[in-house]
Amino acid sequence: MTLYYSARTGGFYDSHLHKTLPHDAIEISTQTHQALLKDNAQGAQIEANAEGYPQAVFPTQNQMLALAKEAALARLTDMTRSQLQQAIGASDESEIMICLYQYRTALAIQAGTATQDEQTAFEREIEACALNESLESFCTDVLNKGARLMQIIGITQGLKHRAAQTINQASSQAEIETCEQDFKSRLTLALASVMEHV
């Protein structure tokens, strides 16, 4: 078995498995291959040097911090979405969108600016769900739920915005982690406070 590396494809090749090799394939030892795989598992990128041989390149501190910030911001978004769904009893994001649409429609019905189709859709939903209530009563329920959702969205987005600013200004992984924990605590307390008054 002979191992090769191609700078063009960024891949390794085994002569027993690959009958055709890229034109720039360079033979490497099994030990080099194993060492590169070990470094890759520890966070290094495998890149070609000037001669086309593979080398392990570990990210700089700044690059690692940037990646940590990116991951933390993604977790903030996931946490916000999850808490928002939980707070209004939604199973997924589509239910939140439906709730917001119904809220807008109920506002339009209340203001007398709804289209006939929008009003008919609400009447059909009351009928389909076998709800024993009037359109006015149904709109009141939708408005109450929508107002609570808007309040929750305002709280979560405000907290998320402040946390994101802090994360973007962080100069260490520890600061990022502290900010995430603080965000989680503040979000949980704020939403619990809102739900107490429902």
Q: Are residues 4 and 53 in contact, defined by beta-carbon separation less than 8 angstroms?
A: no
Instruction: Please give the pLDDT value at position 197.
Output: 60
Pick from 29-38, 50-59, 66-75, 146-155: least confident = 146-155
Pick from 13-17, 102-106, 122-126, 181-185: least confident = 122-126
Mean pLDDT, the chain, integer: 89
The whole-angstrom separation of Cα 173 and Cα 143 is 43
pTM: 0.63
Task: Compute the residue count for the chain.
Answer: 198
Give residue-wise pLDDT tens across range 2-58: 999 999 999 999 998 998 999 999 999 999 999 999 999 998 999 999 999 999 999
Give residue-wise pLDDT tens across range 118-132: 888 888 887 777 767
**What mean pLDDT do residues 81-89 have?**
79
Closest CA to 37 of 26, 29, 46, 27: 46
CB neighbours of residue 173 within 10 Å:
14
The whole-angstrom separation of Cα 133 and Cα 187 is 35
Instruction: Please give the pLDDT value at position 151.
Output: 87
Q: Are residues 49 and 36 in contact, defined by beta-carbon separation less than 8 angstroms?
A: no
pLDDT band at 97 (very low <50, low <70, confident <90, very high): confident
DSSP state letter for 134: -
pLDDT at 198 over 70: no
The whole-angstrom separation of Cα 81 and Cα 191 is 13
The whole-angstrom separation of Cα 112 and Cα 116 is 10
pLDDT at 152 over 90: no
Instruction: Please give the pLDDT value at position 99.
Output: 84
Q: Measure CA 165 to chain center.
A: 17
